[in-house]
Amino acid sequence: QQKVQQSPESLTVSEGAMASLNCTFSDGTSNNFRWYRQHSAKGLEVLVSIFSDGEKEEGRFTAHLNRANLHVSLHIREPQPSDSAVYLCAVSMRPGGYKVVFGSGTRLLVSP
């Protein structure tokens, strides 16, 4: 059973400083990784998807995937107070259907 764990549980950074979030997963055959953001009481917003080892950048958001280490990270460049939200790591695999398992999230607070 796929297990996805995120760290830290919460993170406070100053506006403009880099924010780094971590995610580990248990199943090395996973082939699809995403970072989502959820502002309170809103739906999920996809930030970046990554499917192969290395780096993927979408605007100020960069994901790094190292499948051998079972690790995917998200780096937020020049975070702003409006980036304060819960960030969720999602790992997918295809057992004949397409199952997405989420981590429990990192709560990011960006202080002005």
Partner 1 sequence: DTTVKQNPRYKLARVGKPVNLICSQTMNHDTMYWYQKKPNQAPKLLLFYYDKILNREADTFEKFQSSRPNNSFCSLYIGSAGLEYSAMYLCASSATGTANTEVFFGKGTRLTVV
**CA-based nearest residue to 47, from 23, 28, 26, 25:** 23
Contact between 99 and partner 1 (CB under 8 A)?
yes
76 vs 88 by CB, closer to partner 1: 88
State the number of binding residues for partner 1 (CB under 8 A).
Answer: 26
Contact between 49 and partner 1 (CB under 8 A)?
yes
Q: Identify each DSSP E strand in 27-70 by its residue range.
A: 32-38, 45-50, 54-58, 61-66
Tokens representing 28 are 């090395």
Question: Which residues are near partner 1 by CB under 8 A?
Answer: 4, 31-32, 34, 36, 41-44, 46, 49, 51, 88, 90, 92, 94, 96-105
